[in-house]
Structure 1
Amino acid sequence: MDVLIIDDEKNIRQLLKEILELNNFKVDTAKNGREGIDLFKEHTYKLVFIDKRMPGISGEEVFSEIRKTNKMIPVYIISAFQSTTELEILKEANITGVLMKPFTIEEVMKIVRKHLG
């Protein structure tokens, strides 16, 4: 697999999956943090997108679990709201970047091309 998308919003998961699959990338999706962590432990991915705010396990908690397993994989947090303080905390935690909502296809593809060629 190339990309894992973890987001509780079905429309976001489907949109990202369709964009990436149309560009010949293999994509898995998870509708919550627990499902995302389980998929990450079962498969090898080259890039991960995680929604920041999800019910149950938050995006930050999912990110922390992923970093315990793989410190080098590029991980992007998907968020509609970000304060400067939150961005600094994420950067210190070794997050690769933030994909701000609303995002464009071009923004998504720029990230994907950067990490997957």
Structure 2
Amino acid sequence: MPLVVDALLVILFCAIGRRSHDEAVLTGLLRTLWPFALGLAIGWAVAVAAASRMFGDAGRDARFDGTALWPTGILVWLGTLCGGMLLRVISGQGTALSFILVAAAVLALFLLGWRAAFSALN
């Protein structure tokens, strides 16, 4: 479920970005989305790998927590942001400093915010 929440929020981030620049949301969404979607997958892979490394043999008894702010949320956020930006550069899409800063802030709000709220409510 946390992966689905993250994926929906990354889609929302890309749709809002396209809309705020008066770009066609539906027709160009995939072009904007794919680098961040792959970055999200990278972030999740790193988070799962880090959890198994952190817990070692004890990890067999401990369950990976996709809702955790640390390390999962931070690693997912960094993977989505850095992976997305790197893939945008490779594919010739823009990565102006202002875009990187806005993306970092919005993705942090989305990917870390729901985890913080979830943690506070539980």
Q: Which has the higher contact order (CA 8 A, sep 6+)?
A: 2
Pairwise same-fold verdict (TM > 0.5): no
TM-score, structure 1 length as denominator?
0.26
Q: Which has the higher strand share?
A: 1
TM-score, structure 2 length as denominator?
0.26
Q: Which has the higher helix share?
A: 2
Over alpha carbons, which structure has the higher Rg? 2
